[in-house]
Structures are given as structure tokens and as C-alpha cells.
Structure 1
Amino acid sequence: MTNDHKPPPLETTIQLPDHTTITKVAAEVETGTMNLGPMITSTKKFSLNYDVMHIILRFVSLAASLISVFVMISAKEKSSILIYGFNLPLYSKWSFSGSFKYLVGVSAVVGVHSLVQLLMTTSRTLRKSSVFSSRNHAWLIFTIDQVFAYVMVSAGSAATGVTNLNRTGIKHASLPNFCKPLHHFCDRVGVSIAFAFFNCVLLAISAVLDVIWLSN
């Protein structure tokens, strides 16, 4: 015996929006009445946080540059050293070394760059504008930050080599450790170099923030 009754068709559980709903959503998107509050709030919060971090970085970088410059240019000292029984007078000053002058010059340029960026960023933040006027502007600042970071590493490394030579002398030669009688001079130079390398880190962080801004 055959069963002529066919099973009833399965009812679908997917319901497409009708024409009225689609038209309403399109109208809201076109007129801007759709609720985009959470998305806009999140974007504004990111922009504000970025601007604040950018301002803090520029301020700290400016302070590090000033400390590095002023500590270095104040590095000078008079003393004496005993070599082969002769008491010889010593006088050391930062300007006697080309590496130290190089470090002062680079730190001064980075300080000017940080000051300009600090003023521009603060001004745009107070006007509630983006920290960068365009993507090309962001790429330009990113490039400058990277270049200054590399140059600062170069200046700090050169100054470190001279300071290390003064502190350790030359092996198998008669050049003594000049940092023993000129310890105040060497200490000031060391502080200046430390702030220069610290500035390298700040510039690298600023470059990373630039990339984050470009990716959003």
C-alpha cells in the first residue's frame, strides 16, 4: 500500500527585510539620522588620547634636549695629573671635542623640532582639530622623527666613545685615565649623553604613534 500523502514543506526561518525597512535604513544613512554615537565617540576618544600622548612626548623630548645641551656646555674643569713624577696641569672643556660639539648641535636641533611640534599640536588640540592636517603631513613628521632618532644615536655613540677613552685610557700606552682628576667633567658629559639616548627612545615612540595615526 502506497502512501500518497507527501510531507509538508519545511518552513524557512530566514526572513528578509521588506522593501519598507530597506528604504527606511537607506534614508537614515543618507540623511545621517542613523545612530552612530558609539563609533563617533570611540573615534574622538582615540584622537584625544593620541593628541595628549603626542603633547607629552614633545614636552619631555624638549626637556631632555635642553638638559642634554645645558649639562654638556657646562662641562669644564681644571685639575692636575701626575705622569712619570711630573705634576701636569689639566683643563678640559666640552668644546675641545668635536664629538661633544656634534652632540650639542644635534640636541639643539631636536629641541627646536620638539618645540615647534609641541606648539603646533597644542594649538590644533585647543581648536579641536586633528594633530595632523593630512596624511602627507603625518608621513613628513614620521620621517623627520626617524631621521632625528638615527642622528641622535650617532651623536650619542660618538660622544660615548670619547668619554670611554677618557675614562679608561689607552691600553699598552702612556695615556692615563683623565676622568679620575676630572671626574666632575666626565660626570656631566655622561649625564648629557644619557639624556641624548633617552631622547632617541622618545623620538622612536613618537614615530610609532605616527604610524598608529596613519593606520586609523
Structure 2
Amino acid sequence: MINHLKTPSETSDQTITTATKVAAVAETATMTCPSVSSNSDRKFSRSYDVMHIVLRIGSLSASLISVFVMVTAKEKSTISIYGFDLPLYSKWSFSGSFEYLVGVSAAVAVHSLLQLVITTSRMLRKSSAYTSRNHAWLIFVGDQVFAYAMISAGSAATGVTNLNRTGIKHTSLPNFCKPLHSFCDRVGVSIAFAFFNCFLLAISAVLDVLCLPN
């Protein structure tokens, strides 16, 4: 009978090789979202990438619509105060809050376009949307910052629009949105898309968090 016992050196070499393979697998798992150790995991990871692409397209579209509707908001009219007809001319650039909303929306559009290009290109190469945990953290922070900035800009613009629509109590300041209804409507649409963009960025941030533990 032939004895197939391995020598200590062979056992040591095999142990080192196994440890190296385990480390390589663990390192590879951190580069995907989620890990793609099986066909089902690959499909799940691919669905994450598709959801990211859809969210980026939605965020980009909402940002562009918000900017376009706001920068085209302007109107001329007249208003009667104490029997005197006074000319009115309103434009989005007359308000710092509206300019703030346009600036934040434009920044979110650039961010969404950049992430859309990166995610799409990596998906076409059959790679994960995230190159590493640090990359996932970076995108998560970016989505959070832009979401809060959109909330801030939308809230500021809402305050100005509400003031134009209701006037100031206990004063004779009229409702400027009556003679400037088209202007106020366009501003309202722009603000609505800004808040919708906040919702899309929040969902994207949740997906980023789901990717971080892997």
C-alpha cells in the first residue's frame, strides 16, 4: 500500500495558496455592488446599475427642465394701486433665490450627467458602477450634498413665490401673481421639478448605501 501523506512543505505551500485565493476573492468582492460570485448576484448587480442609470437620467431631465422653465420666466403687466395703474415687469434674475435655484439645478445636472456617463460606460464594459468602497462613499456624499442643496434652493424660491402670491399681511402690498400669473406659474413648475429632483437624489443615495457594505 502506497502512503500518500503530504510533507510539511507541501502542506504549507497549499495553505499559502488557499489564503492567497481567499484574499483575492475578498478583494474582488469589494469592487462590485453587490458581489458577483454567482449568476444570480451578477443579475442583481446589473439591476443596481440599471436603476442608477434610470435615476441619473431622471435627475438630469428634472434639472434641465427646472433650469429652462425658470430662465424663461418673465412677464410684463400692470397693477392698480389706490386707483393708479402701475407697470410691472418681473424676471427670474430679479430674485437671488431664483438665481440660487438655477445655479444648484445646473450643478446637479452636471453631476448627474457625469455619473450617467461613468455608470453607462462601466456597464457596457460589464463592470460594476463602483470601482471601490471609496468611490461608493464619494458618490454617496455627492448625492447627499446635492439633495440638501436642492431642498435649500427649492425652499428659498418657494418663500419668494408665496410672498408674491399672498402679499404681506397688514400692508397694502398686493398679490403680484394675479397680474403676473404666467410668471408665477412657470416659477412654480420649476420649483416642483426641483423638489422632485431631491426625491430622485435621495433614492440614489439609498442605493449607494446598499453598495457600501460589500
TM-score range, shorter chain: 0.7 to 0.9
> Equivalent residue for 1:149?
147
Equivalent residue for 2:127? 129
What is the identity, as a one-letter code, of the residue corresponding to 2:147? Answer: A
Once the two structures are TM-superposed, the CA of residue 39 in structure 1 deviates from its matched residue by 5.5
Taking structure 1 as the reference length, the TM-score comes to 0.82
Equivalent residue number for residue 83 of structure 1:
81
Q: Secondary structure at the match of 1:130?
A: coil
Match of 2:44 among 22, 43, 46: 46
Distance in structure 1 (CA, Å) of the matches to 2:157 and 2:37:
50
Q: How does 1:7-156 map to 2 (within 5 A)?
A: 40-156=38-154
Does residue 1:213 correspond to 2:211, yes or no?
Answer: yes
Q: Counterpart amino acid of 2:133?
A: R
Tell me the SS of whatever aligns to 2:52.
Answer: helix
> How far off its partner does 1:174 sit?
1.1
Match of 1:22 in 2: none
- Equivalent position of 1:18 in the other structure: none
**Structure 1 residue ranges (4+ consecutive) displaced by more than 3 angstroms after TM superposition:** none
Corresponding residue for residue 190 of structure 2 = 192
Q: How much does 1:215 deviate?
A: 2.6
Q: Which residue identity lines up with residue 161 of structure 2 in the other structure? A: T
Q: Determine the structure 2 residue equivalent to 1:8.
A: none
Distance in structure 2 (CA, Å) of the matches to 1:124 and 1:92? 46
Identity %: 78
Instruction: For residues 134-162 of structure 1, give each alpha carbon's deviation from its aligned partner in whole angstroms, at most 9, with x where no partner exists.
Output: 10000000001001000110000000000
For 1:155, the aligned partner's letter is A
* Distance in 1 (alpha carbons) for counterparts of 2:51 and 2:124: 14
**Cα distance between partner residues in 2 of 1:59 and 1:119:** 10
Aligned CA-pair RMSD: 2.1
Letter of the structure 1 residue corresponding to residue 179 of structure 2: P
| One-letter identity of the residue aligned with 2:192 | A
Q: Secondary structure at the match of 2:76?
A: strand
* Secondary structure in structure 1 of the residue aligned to 2:85: strand
Segments of 5+ residues of structure 2 without an aligned counterpart are: 1-13, 22-35
Asked if 1:165 corresponds to 2:163, the answer is yes
Q: CA deviation at 1:213?
A: 1.2
- Whichever residue aligns with residue 76 of structure 1, its letter is K
Residues in 1 aligned to 2:141 and 2:53: alpha-carbon distance in whole angstroms: 18
SS of the residue corresponding to residue 173 of structure 1 reads coil
> Quick one: distance in 1 between partners of 2:199 and 2:186?
20
Secondary structure of the corresponding residue to residue 174 of structure 2? coil
User: Matches of 1:173 and 1:138 in 2, distance apart?
Assistant: 52
The structure with the largest alpha-carbon Rg is 1
Q: Distance in 2 between matches of 1:60 and 1:155?
A: 19
Name the amino acid aligned to 2:177.
Answer: C
CA distance in 2 between partners of 1:214 and 1:126 (Å) = 22
SS at match of 1:80: strand
In the alignment of these two chains, the number of paired residues is 186
